[in-house]
Structure 1
């Protein structure tokens, strides 16, 4: 089925770009717009801009741009139809669909089908928990024993799978879901040696649905409860969905959907290990908590937390051996610029058991009292382990320094060098020197990656009036943390004519409908002044042709026409032209009474200057052709004629330069 155009229009009108993007990253008000660290590439300085007036976003680092639908498509890696369905669900819009052809049905997005069958499975398991005798006597009893209320069970959509080989798959097959789809979703395990049929992956277990950040169920975790038979005794306590097209364990944090708003509001995230830890803390009123679900913390999970807050507190149980192993992987968190604290619980307790033992208020007080920054915690643990052995103490210094140099912020590094110096009773300058050596070694081993060039992500050239579609964004990773080295970027191989063609096209797209005088629009004026000139760049020529054709029908396309154009390249260019990385401070006029005119206020001058610059660049290209022809002239007479043409063009160029006030003609 395909969503009909009327429904698509309602979804577009209802979707608010700030709300949609805010579900995935933490936005901060910046003038009239909002900014954040880009979810599409790794950065520590925000270069992602959201414009609530135009309902668009633009990243000045990687060039990503679009509207609410495009954002959902890219951030969730889904198709257009699935992005529309997500937004329709978010804004409670009833979807009206149209029949698709057989060919369109065959091309239906597999990911969408997986989401549908996983949601069906979630509903099935919830129903079994609430309404089956086995679910009530075993699953519901277990959750009640842990103190989970009905509200918290609904919040996390907990369920139960019957202890029957094919309870779920039989129901799913009867509802029309194929065995192949069930297998791809990780719900069905095929029987060996059989071309059809299989058995349920989850049997006789309580079910913990795993949601992605947008709220869709993408996988399940399941805990076995009964162990009264030899077959049960050999089964793992926890069983998780396998990797699928929609579930990659290293990218996911359990509870992120339920916790993201609290994390954003409190600007802090607690990280635990298990499902029940998350649920118990939510029930205790601590909702800014997620779990790594038993996996080692990955760079993708760290970045997911970093979308909402830079402040992370990791809650560990009292297993020192396990903590020492985990400490080695936490440098990844420091490298991402996050502020990491550690809380260690008494022996035998984890967050779930401790909060049930002492209560919510005492638990919160313990978190405040026991929290230590990661460097201090690591230093204390390693020093305790090293004792008085000088060789082991020297190794501890190396371990701690190796963590400190991963911190991208220079001020924080200095603070931790000083604190470590005091704790270890060693000279601070010696630690800094060792850090410098280590940083130099690391910089030679790993060269920073450069973001690929995207249209609109480069400076627009010195002659571009008022246009700032993008700039270089340097992250702190581009520099050695102690001895910065200059970073050079190759300039794009684009001619002066390219920049003038872009400036001219941008003027048409953004201001073509504006009137310079009654009945005379910018479009009419500038096109009348460049009659007979065509552009070299294909996309700018395409846009120029669109304006000329429409003007011939007495119609001038407005900015929204190009913002919603069916060609993605035109949409991307328009968003880049609409979005400025910088905003003029209100203090110029409010405090200093200095009034800076906006481009729209001086369109007559801007249009005139753009025409002159375009013609000058166009003439200079002809001059280059003349010089090339003169070099290859076959006779002196031919060369003289060519140079005469060159001098004619040179005169026009100098006259234009004088009009523009250029120092060099």
Structure 2
């Protein structure tokens, strides 16, 4: 249903872009703005900029830009209406709209429909555990035995699925949910029955305690489930399948509950299991997540990097835990994070150990026994090597191989000193080994690129059509004649889309004229309402000088038209009118406005201390001169453009003497305009 415009405005007014973005990314203050590594593309150096005054964001790396609503739409991959509902819920803004039935909700879009179905299942499992005899005696009893309190059970929305074939399915159908959507959400299964060709439909999760898996914003996207009875025919743990909303390699269990603590503590503890996360959270160690039963992935590491550059891996002290820690080590280093590792005493996991020693002792153990990756690897190599020099050399090479994964050159150089100290070898030998490994990686990369190129060329040769004889004029005429009768049987011709580019950067042709048009719009957006002299605003000056001129670049001409329409009604548009979409609902126009009103760099406060002053465009004299020269350049380029057109027309042989004279007179007039503007601009040579 449509959300009334006044409600949309209340939601926008209530939303704070810093709070909204901080739910997904850790922002750091720089000058008057805030920065972070962009959540929309992979980068090591922050280029994502948030302006709290204008309530906008802009990434100078990938071009993404918008307001709080656009950010939620992009980060959650949801529509405009759902983004507004998300913000309304966050800020307690009541939306007055007609109540929708489950069928209407499910029709909105598949992704949102899946989330609605999963939320229903989460609530259903919670109610079963709290309100049924089986749920209380089995599910709730299990969590109580693990030591989980009611606040903890509520925080992680734990539940229980009855040991029935289709309990969830029947409850969902009664509420109006479509079984097809339940299947897509991974909640039910369909299987052909033996004989007869009939299909049997049943719940995926039966007789298990349920661990909902949340995304960063707190919505349930999947489930982990543990069976409590001994059954060799059933896996102990059962997880949701991959769906439109759930990709296990991109998810960390507990990230929603942990994100604020990760930001505050500036470190993330990584474990392996659901109960590890829950037990540590209950003990007050809330900056903890788990890899959800999968090996650590690059996407999961990047998710942590949104909130902190520091990660500590907490794994069991057995052989499997050591192997898991080593497996994830290099990936963390490749992403530029600061890594420490901790192996718990043999036979312990985070869940059991925190119950055994308590929260404070657990924290102290982390502080005393966590190691950087060099100490972690070196201690194991040195123990294994003993007096064997070849083993020691192998260990040095292994540690150096991990150092080569680090993208920061300065870090690599510093860590090479640590390796030399730990293994008691010269720093130069360590540097030489690192360089050798880097060269080897480069050579392997080049070989792989060559092999890929050969494979591509071979594929292209196989797919290339056989040479055909060129069509004659008669062939073409015959073909056109046959097609003119009827095109009913013609196949659709599909032209593949070009790769998507951010609207703010979608510059098909950046001619000199287009750049000057852009500069004119930038001045209007930033300073349109300022007076250049008493009673004359910059907007009035620009529009009067361009009275009979339209811009040739589409988005700039649209913005200029909007300014003209508003000024004709006695109003001067401000940048905020475009940023908040009070004028033009086109996203491209909003992104252009953000692009033109967001400076990439700020002048350091330190310059003022040293009495280094940079002239500001805010100064009236500078602003007036910038507008004056911009208008002159636009008119000069239009004159040059017209002269080129006239010269082309003059070369046409069909011109009559009168037409040739008219063109010559117009050309001379344009030339005089061009020369006069060149004189005013101080241009030595006129183009």
TM-score by length of 1: 0.87
> 1:494 maps to what in 2?
510
Among 667, 676, 680, which residue is 1:659 paired with?
680
1:618 equivalent in alignment to 2:638:
yes
SS in 2 for 1:408: coil
1:510 equivalent in alignment to 2:526:
yes
Shift of 1:39: 0.3
Shift of 1:570: 0.6
CA distance in structure 2 between the partners assigned to 1:197 and 1:404 by the alignment: 54
1:442-461 → structure 2 map (5 Å cutoff):
442-443=441-442, 454-456=502-504
> 1:478 maps to what in 2?
none
Calculate the aligned-residue CA RMSD, in Å: 3.1
1:576-615 → structure 2 map (5 Å cutoff):
576-589=595-608, 592=611, 594=613, 596-599=615-618, 601-602=620-621, 603-615=623-635
CA distance in structure 2 between the partners assigned to 1:609 and 1:107 by the alignment: 55
**Alpha-carbon displacement from aligned partner over 1:340-376 (angstroms, at most 9, x marks no partner):** 1000111111111111111111111100111111232
State the structure with more CA Rg.
2
Q: Which moved more, 1:321-330 or 1:63-72?
A: 321-330
Q: Which moved more, 1:394-403 or 1:406-415?
A: 394-403
SS in 1 for 2:513: helix
> 2:494 maps to what in 1?
none
Q: Which moved more, 1:130-139 or 1:589-598?
A: 589-598
Kept in 2: contact 1:61–1:457 (CA 8 A):
no
> 1:214 maps to what in 2?
217
Kept in 1: contact 2:17–2:68 (CA 8 A):
yes
Kept in 2: contact 1:2–1:100 (CA 8 A):
no
Kept in 2: contact 1:62–1:452 (CA 8 A):
no
> 1:486 maps to what in 2?
none
Shift of 1:511: 2.9
Shift of 1:633: 7.6
Shift of 1:45: 1.1
Shift of 1:401: 1.9
CA distance in structure 2 between the partners assigned to 1:181 and 1:292 by the alignment: 27
1:530 equivalent in alignment to 2:546:
yes
Cα distance change on mapping 1:646 and 1:101 into 2, 3 Å: farther
> 1:485 maps to what in 2?
none
Structure 1: segments with no counterpart, 5+ residues? 459-490
Cα distance change on mapping 1:390 and 1:508 into 2, 3 Å: same
1:123-522 → structure 2 map (5 Å cutoff):
123-193=123-193, 198-227=201-230, 232-324=231-323, 326-443=325-442, 454-456=502-504, 494-522=510-538
> 1:22 maps to what in 2?
22
Q: Which moved more, 1:43-52 or 1:623-632?
A: 623-632
SS in 2 for 1:557: coil
Q: Which moved more, 1:140-149 or 1:67-76?
A: 140-149
CA distance in structure 2 between the partners assigned to 1:501 and 1:250 by the alignment: 46
Kept in 2: contact 1:3–1:98 (CA 8 A):
no
Cα distance change on mapping 1:326 and 1:201 into 2, 3 Å: same
Shift of 1:331: 1.4
CA distance in structure 2 between the partners assigned to 1:121 and 1:100 by the alignment: 19
Aligned pairs, number: 627
CA distance in structure 1 between the partners assigned to 2:309 and 2:529 by the alignment: 44
Kept in 2: contact 1:589–1:595 (CA 8 A):
no
CA distance in structure 1 between the partners assigned to 2:650 and 2:427 by the alignment: 69
> 2:576 maps to what in 1?
560
CA distance in structure 2 between the partners assigned to 1:105 and 1:369 by the alignment: 52
Cα distance change on mapping 1:600 and 1:215 into 2, 3 Å: farther
Q: Which moved more, 1:133-142 or 1:564-573?
A: 133-142
CA distance in structure 1 between the partners assigned to 2:667 and 2:32 by the alignment: 50
CA distance in structure 1 between the partners assigned to 2:161 and 2:61 by the alignment: 46
Kept in 2: contact 1:315–1:344 (CA 8 A):
yes
SS in 2 for 1:328: helix
**Alpha-carbon displacement from aligned partner over 1:43-71 (angstroms, at most 9, x marks no partner):** 11111111111111100110000111110
CA distance in structure 1 between the partners assigned to 2:445 and 2:97 by the alignment: 51
Q: Which moved more, 1:538-547 or 1:435-444?
A: 435-444
Kept in 1: contact 2:339–2:372 (CA 8 A):
yes
Kept in 1: contact 2:107–2:113 (CA 8 A):
no
Cα distance change on mapping 1:180 and 1:601 into 2, 3 Å: same
Cα distance change on mapping 1:516 and 1:445 into 2, 3 Å: farther
> 1:465 maps to what in 2?
none
SS in 1 for 2:341: strand
Kept in 1: contact 2:315–2:325 (CA 8 A):
no
CA distance in structure 2 between the partners assigned to 1:21 and 1:623 by the alignment: 51
CA distance in structure 2 between the partners assigned to 1:76 and 1:95 by the alignment: 20
